[in-house]
Amino acid sequence: MKTLDHFSVPLTTFRWEQAEQLNPKLAKLFIECSNDESRYKNETMRSTQNNGVFESKFDLFYWNEPSVQQLFQFCHKALASVVVQYNGYSAEQLNKIEFFYHSWFHVTKTGGFQGNHNHPMASWSGIYCIKTGTDADTEAFSGKVRFHDPRMGADMYQDPSNENLQGKFGLGGVEYGHKNGQLVIFPSYLRHEVFAHMGKEERIVVAFNSWSRWRS
């Protein structure tokens, strides 16, 4: 018996070594910015964002703030490693790729959530957690990201022969629980939603979209 490993979705996680030092500075900065909506708030209204989700403008990685630039370097290096790993590129090929970014932060208060969506016009997306704002023992599903199964119709019929498929062959979505200092990178086409944040403190994350082209 030989298993053919087709149609897999590459979700990859990373841990930022400087998170303990810089996450508190970033949290303070983003909370302060979220209180100045006229300057920092994204003016685009999104039907998927509900009940106290603050979304910044999409230029975060271009700020001159040192802690933001350090986070950007971490996210960029992580994405570059994903591109190399899954495309089989050499270091020389990687150097010929020019990357572009949209990047922003979310500050979510108690009760805030995001409906099912994906990130159009990009190849890769990432979510970095600065602060879960959640007691994991009592608020198990608070602020979790649910990634939906992209195989349309895969669960159209279930019976004893396929209802308990294991691991990557399982049907349905998967919940991803944030941890402070952790980054998840996923294909931008992958639909996902964020469960209601039930913590008493703010949930703070940074997100980005990336697309690229070969340098001329």
Q: pLDDT band at 168, cuts 50/70/90? A: confident
177-194 pLDDT, tens per residue? 999 999 999 999 999 999
Residue with more model confidence, 140 or 203: 203
Cβ neighbours of residue 181 closer than 8 Å, sequence gap 6 or more? 15, 16, 19, 20, 23, 129
Mean pLDDT of 33-52: 92
16-34 pLDDT, tens per residue? 999 999 999 999 999 999 9
Taking the model in full, what pTM does it have? Answer: 0.94
Tell whether the model's pLDDT for residue 167 goes beyond 90.
no
Residue with more model confidence, 139 or 43: 43
Average pLDDT value for the chain: 95
Write the CA distances from 70 to 74, 105, 113, 160, 215, integer angstroms: 6, 15, 28, 50, 25
**Residue among 80, 134, 75, 78 at smallest CA distance from 109:** 134
The three-class DSSP label of residue 65 is coil
120-131 pLDDT, tens per residue? 999 999 999 999
In order of start, what are the domains of the chain with their CATH numbers?
12-34+48-149+171-214 (2.60.120.620)
169 CB burial (10 A radius; 0-12, 13-18, 19+): exposed
User: Which helix (H) or strand (E) element contains residue 98?
Assistant: strand 97-108
Tell whether the model's pLDDT for residue 65 goes beyond 90.
yes
- Say how far apart CA 9 and CA 167 lie, in whole Å: 12
Q: Phi and psi of 176, rounded to 5°?
A: -115, 120
Write the CA distances from 180 to 9, 28, 32, 50, 53, integer angstroms: 24, 15, 19, 23, 19
Tell whether the model's pLDDT for residue 175 goes beyond 70.
yes
